[in-house]
A and B are shown apart, each in its own frame.
Chain A
């Protein structure tokens, strides 16, 4: 044993009373501090890592369960068959494999629909900027088939995102599409000009490439919140079909 300290207080003994090491008191404190720091870091890091892993597992489990729940409630699982603003018939099958953002409204809408469609267009444009993300298809489905014919929609959609598709149809076809997404719509009383306001559900729906409803955004959600949510959905998407 090499003695580095003359002071017997700093000697370590084994059970037979032999000196096994010695150290100066300052270096002892130093070593102890470093050891404690290292142990703390390792233990702390381990706990943090474990927590992170458990949290990730939990999130994934929650997401899988959510998709299952949505599948069970079957929101928007039916099909729609409507005319687009070019007069072409479009069904829900046409959009399978695509991410879809859809909004129900009407072209005579005073403020809410144009605001929501501006927001939706801004979200889609921002997503378009990222080449690593799949294209998201914006859809506008009218709840006012009486006035919103193909021509009216063609005039209306050009004020918004260039890929926005307007959809209309017979009152029955439109009603069926709205019912499929639990959209409430009720035309108000007509004035002397025959003009009226349609009271309706104000929600933007996110539909996965499986054609299943994944999430919805109300008026309180701003562009960035919707953008983050959609990116997150795209990142975590697992086809369930």
Chain B
């Protein structure tokens, strides 16, 4: 199996960015972005689809951490 070419990589990244934009605009509801999801799956190798899907949740988690900081679990909160 040969690696994607430069053009194939770019097509995949564009499809990914379109899907992510749609998910950002639709509160991550995949139902609203089916068209972009299937385009993404068509243009990227299956491994990359898995990788980018995991990467998106990681990036979202990271952004959340940076924006809100670490919040301790419910139980450890002190009553004042």
Residues of A with Cβ closer than 8 Å to B? 107-108, 110-111, 114, 147-148, 152, 155-156, 159, 191-197
Contact = CB atoms under 8 A, between A and B. Distances in A.
Contacts, number: 42
A110 B3 contact: no
A2 B34 CA distance: 102
B46 A159 contact: no
**Interface range for B:** 10 to 19
Contacts of A197: 47, 51
Contact of B46 (A114, A147, A148, A193): A193
B66 to A, nearest CB: 14
Contact of B1 (A111, A159, A195): A195
B6 A159 contact: yes
B2 A110 contact: no
A101 B13 CA distance: 26
Given A110-B51, A147-B1, A156-B3, A195 B9 contact: no
B46 A111 contact: no
A108 B47 contact: yes
A185 B79 CA distance: 48
Given A147-B3, A152-B3, A195-B1, A110 B46 contact: no
Contact of A107 (B3, B46, B47): B3
A192 B2 CA distance: 15
Given A110-B52, A111-B13, A114-B9, A195 B47 contact: yes
15 contacts: A108-B45, A110-B12, A110-B48, A114-B9, A147-B3, A148-B3, A152-B2, A152-B3, A159-B5, A159-B6, A192-B46, A193-B1, A193-B47, A196-B47, A197-B47
